[in-house]
Amino acid sequence: MPEFSEAFSNIEGRPTMQVAALDIGSNSFHLVIARIVAGSVQILHRVKQKVRLADGLDAQNRLSEEAMQRGLDTLQIIAESLKGFEPDTVRIVATYTLRKAKNAKDFIRAAKKILPYPIEIISGIEEARLIYSGVAHTVQNNGQRLVVDIGGGSTEFIIGDGFESKMMRSLQMGCVSYTKRFFEDGVLSSVAFKKAATAAQQELELIDAKYLKLGWRHCIGTSGTIKAIVLLAQSLSEGNPEGFVTLDNLKELRNKCISAGHIKDLKLAVTEDRVPVLAAGLSILIGIFKSLKIQTMEYSAAALREGVIYEMEEQLAHHDIRERTAQSLATRYDVDVDQAKRVHDITMLVYEQCKKSWKISGREHRNMLSWAALLHEVGLQINSRGVQRHSGYILQNVDLHGFNQEQQILLSVLARFHRKKLRPEELHEFWQFDSDAVKKLIIILRMGVLLNIKRQDNILPEFTISVDEQFMQITFPKDWLEGKPIFSADLASEAGYLTALDYKLSFS
């Protein structure tokens, strides 16, 4: 008899890592857990919970207590699947509803008590980029492709080729928001369908000409809304390849809905939780087909959360999309690369001496400080006078692929205050980054900039930095400062600036 308990005892397993991605969407929350082994991603587990967070947004873009509680209750369920995961192996992204909600920070504060991981609110463009990444890693067709993702509050449009996205937009139309706007009473009339589809086409006027000009060979739809519509359209029609849908299929499905007259009388093979938003999603998709002249669309199960997982794999393998973004920005704004490297190297030297005492040794603390050091002078292309204000503005408003909303704001804050006067009242309220940590990162970057004020190599001697909670001491070799009266004056000025943050600087 074989000893099954010993069957694999001589097999040497390869190193693996489990990672998790949670998509806090406007309609549903999606969790994906995957295993990374030998450079490939294997999906192990999925959790999907219908929340309809966008239902709770009022006309003033405030999220209702009821909607927030639905979301928090769902996070309690999801938390069970994330027990034991290290912080670096979990990424949580939030999309349209939390982008729009003026009281999003209230939800995130409450969520932090449930999940010990940062929640990133990502921009519409970043959402589009990640959606495309998820599709590109799982779809095998060749040539340029258009990817469309209809969410609860927004719809993303991406044209790409291979793994590279070429054109990306996020439009404010989604199955939950359009349900509230056109189908709130549940009536499925031809007038309501026409109004909703026309509204979608009006939104598409912003992009349709550019997208049609660039063109595509394949059209791919993602998200639960498109999945449900494709499956329903297939069940009503014959002759189409499996997984594909045409405009005629969509019109036939729309007519079926109109014949039912009301959502409660709709007799279609669709899950109960999908029924309330089906008409809105169908109207949006009809508008998309018409404006973009789409012949056929196929469905892909991969979407935002898969894109997050694949990007985590790339970042864990040290191929960080943010490096390409920073390089592109440096080229576009003619950054003085030599000076950027000088500032970066000294900033990192200061950081290494401060991180333990100041408790800022997290990976993202170091990463954000590095990017800020390399990009702090992007505003020089506008004007050298007030460069810090110009740099802060650029970094706050330019598309920064790979950076979430909070990371982008932190970059802009660090650049905004890398020199001259500090204004504590202008510091953003962060929930992903501790406010004291942000102040410390600002001080470290300022020191990296100040110590390179001459913009020359090999003129600094070895120095040491020591810190306690609100104090920094910089020590140079004996008598070195005596021959540097201007540099000493700059340090004295800096000591004055730092008092605005309630920090003291001493030097000798």
Q: What is the pLDDT of residues 402-455, one digit of tens each?
A: 788 788 889 999 999 999 999 988 888 787 788 899 999 999 999 999 999 888
Residue corresponding to tokens 């709130």: 184
Cβ contacts of residue 354 below 8 Å, gap of 6+?
360, 440, 444, 465, 467, 472
Mean pLDDT of 325-339: 84
Q: How far apart are CA 496 and CA 502, in angstroms?
A: 10
Task: For 166-186, write each residue's pLDDT tens digit.
Answer: 999 999 999 999 999 999 999
**H-helix or E-strand spanning residue 158:** strand 155-161
Asked if residue 404 lies in contact with residue 126, where contact means CB atoms within 8 angstroms, the answer is yes
**H-helix or E-strand spanning residue 391:** helix 387-397
Model confidence at 288: pLDDT above 90: yes
Q: Which residues pair with 46 in a beta bridge?
A: 32
Q: Which residues pair with 23 in a beta bridge?
A: 30, 93
Give the 3-state secondary structure of residue 335.
coil
Q: How far apart are CA 40 and CA 45, in angstroms?
A: 16
Nearest to 325 by CA among 125, 154, 120, 93: 125
Model confidence at 19: pLDDT above 60: yes
Supply the pLDDT for residue 1.
47
Mean pLDDT of 232-259: 83
Q: How far apart are CA 55 and CA 63, in angstroms?
A: 9
Supply the pLDDT for residue 398.
85
Give the 3-state secondary structure of residue 161.
strand
**H-helix or E-strand spanning residue 134:** helix 124-136
Q: How far apart are CA 140 and CA 61, in angstroms?
A: 40
Mean pLDDT of 59-72: 95
List Cα–Cα distances, 159 to 155, 244, 382, in angstroms. 14, 19, 31
List Cα–Cα distances, 52 to 18, 177, 283, 446, in angstroms. 29, 10, 18, 44
Model confidence at 198: pLDDT above 90: yes
Listed range (10-24, 112-126, 407-421) with the worst mean pLDDT: 10-24
Task: For 80-99, write each residue's pLDDT tens digit.
Answer: 999 888 888 899 999 999 99
Supply the pLDDT for residue 442.
94
CATH 3.30.420.150 range(s) for the chain read 139-301
**H-helix or E-strand spanning residue 121:** strand 119-121
Supply the pLDDT for residue 318.
45
Cβ contacts of residue 86 below 8 Å, gap of 6+?
none
**Dihedral over alpha carbons 408, 411, 412, 414 (to 10 degrees):** 160
Supply the pLDDT for residue 323.
78
Compute how many other C-beta atoms are within 10 angstroms of the C-beta atom of residue 469.
10
Model confidence at 240: pLDDT above 70: no
**First-to-final CA distance of the chain:** 79
Cβ contacts of residue 140 below 8 Å, gap of 6+?
none
CATH architecture of 320-458: Orthogonal Bundle (1.10)
Which amino acid, one-letter code, is at 225?
T
List helix spans (H) across 237-293. 247-260, 275-291
Asked if residue 95 lies in contact with residue 127, where contact means CB atoms within 8 angstroms, the answer is yes
Supply the pLDDT for residue 399.
78
Whole-model pTM over 0.75 = no
When computed from its CA atoms, the radius of gyration of the chain, rounded to whole angstroms, is 26
Asked if residue 237 lies in contact with residue 249, where contact means CB atoms within 8 angstroms, the answer is yes
**Percentage of residues of the chain with pLDDT beyond 90:** 57
Cβ contacts of residue 215 below 8 Å, gap of 6+?
144, 159
Nearest to 465 by CA among 364, 372, 342, 357: 357
CATH architecture of 16-122: 2-Layer Sandwich (3.30)
Asked if residue 402 lies in contact with residue 371, where contact means CB atoms within 8 angstroms, the answer is no
Asked if residue 215 lies in contact with residue 167, where contact means CB atoms within 8 angstroms, the answer is no
CATH 1.10.3210.10 range(s) for the chain read 320-458
Nearest to 299 by CA among 279, 277, 281: 281
Q: Which of the listed CATH numbers 3.30.70.20, 3.30.420.150, 3.40.50.280, 3.30.830.10 matches domain 139-301?
A: 3.30.420.150
**Percentage of residues of the chain with pLDDT beyond 70:** 94
Average pLDDT, the chain: 88
**H-helix or E-strand spanning residue 171:** strand 164-171
Model confidence at 387: pLDDT above 80: yes
Long-range contacts, stretch 55-62, CB < 8 angstroms, 24+ apart: 55/176, 55/180, 56/97, 57/97, 57/100, 57/101, 57/153, 57/177, 60/102, 61/100, 61/101, 61/102, 62/101, 62/102, 62/103
CATH 3.30.420.40 range(s) for the chain read 16-122
Task: For 347-365, write each residue's pLDDT tens digit.
Answer: 999 999 999 999 998 888 9
Task: For 252-262, write each residue's pLDDT tens digit.
Answer: 999 999 999 99
Task: For 130-162, write each residue's pLDDT tens digit.
Answer: 999 989 888 877 789 999 999 999 999 999 999
Query: Between residues 74 and 303, which one has the greater pLDDT?
Result: 74
